[in-house]
Amino acid sequence: MDIVKGVLDRSRLAAAKGITAVENEYPEATGIMQALYPHTGRAYILGITGPPGAGKSTLTDKLAKEYRKRGKTVGIIAVDPTSPYSGGAILGDRIRMMDIAMDEGVFIRSMATRGSLGGLSQKTADAVKVLDAFGCDIIIIETVGVGQSEVDIVKTADTTMVVLVPGLGDDIQAIKAGILEIGDLFTINKADREGVEKLHIEIEMMLELSGNKTGWKPPINRTIASESEGVLSVMDSIEAHAKYLKESDELKTRRAESIKTELLAMIAERIRRHINKTVAETRDFENTILRLQQREIDPYSIADDILDKIIKQ
């Protein structure tokens, strides 16, 4: 089938095949993406991240439902960067159990690590573009957010929501600090749990410490997503942020930044492949490693030597 034509004709099967092509790095993937690219840039992209167990999937489910009520079509990409073995099966199961999975106006897809994580971030960005060209009004990227790779994944979103939950212990503090930077809105889920006030104050304090360089002050909402409590307030905050981005022209700046990051990552990935082919898989390189291991040479000088051989100056 012609995947590009299918996607533009709103065929679910074509969209699924397009994402599969991207995910598995089929040879036709680049051609598909090149053809779809002119048809992208219309969807609004929402990133949802937060530590394991914060209830991100449930909240995503409820938000998607609310968007459907408002007549919007929704794409959901659930990214699981931590599970090379399970191939995202666990996340996939959870996704399939979502209430909205049977809705024709909702397209759900899970993506997991196959190979490098840099690759996963690129593949997620491409999957978003497929769903954008396919015609989804809203695309939600949901990812477990605790490391840099997850941050990279949600960076492509227009609005990023960080979901936290009271009482996850001390180490979580560090995580919060790490993802604060990317949060346009914060949601304290499971807000009937003990520690909600403490967490709220902590987020406020950290936001103050980090300083506000834009005209947007990240709101902190509270939800009990499993009971749909507070979901409408979250929706309001998302809409308010979208409005702010458009009116302040920041949407354009952000998207330019995101394209730039993506392009640089693509170049880096291509170079990585080039190095693997021309340097890492040669007999000469094996010999270099042996000499390094015997401390006859040092890696810092060798890295410079190899660079000189690869790069046009």
- Among 146, 163, 188, 238, the residue binding a copy of itself under the rule CB under 8 A is 146
Choose which of 59, 130, 138, 144 interacts with a copy of itself (CB under 8 A).
144
By CB under 8 A, tell whether 295 contacts a copy of itself. Answer: yes
* 246 contributes a contact to a copy of itself by CB under 8 A: no
Contact 223, 185 (CB under 8 A): no
> Does 113 interact with a copy of itself (rule: CB under 8 A)?
yes
Q: How far is the CB of 66 from a copy of itself (least distance, A)?
A: 24
User: Which range in 68-76, 183-191, 229-237, 271-279 contacts a copy of itself by CB under 8 A?
Assistant: 271-279
Closest by CA to 280, choosing from 306, 256, 261, 242, is 306
Q: CA-based diameter of the chain, in Å?
A: 68
Q: Which of 216, 211, 116 is nearest to 159 (CA)?
A: 216
Question: Any contact of residue 287 with a copy of itself (CB under 8 A)?
Answer: no
Name every residue whose Cβ is closer than 8 Å to that of residue 133 and which is 6 or more positions away in sequence: 7, 8, 36, 39, 40
Task: Check binding of 13 to a copy of itself (CB under 8 A).
Answer: no
Residue from 24, 84, 247, 248 binding a copy of itself (CB under 8 A): 84
Choosing from 6, 18, 47, 51, the residue that interacts with a copy of itself (CB under 8 A) is 51
Is the Cβ–Cβ distance between 102 and 134 less than 8 Å? no
Out of 23, 123, 266, 287, which residue is the one contacting a copy of itself (CB under 8 A)?
Answer: 266
Radius of gyration of the chain (CA): 21
Contact 221, 195 (CB under 8 A): no
Asked whether the beta carbons of 88 and 80 are under 8 A apart, the reply is: yes
Is residue 201 a contact point for a copy of itself (CB under 8 A)?
no
Instruction: Please report whether residue 97 would count as binding a copy of itself according to CB under 8 A.
Output: no
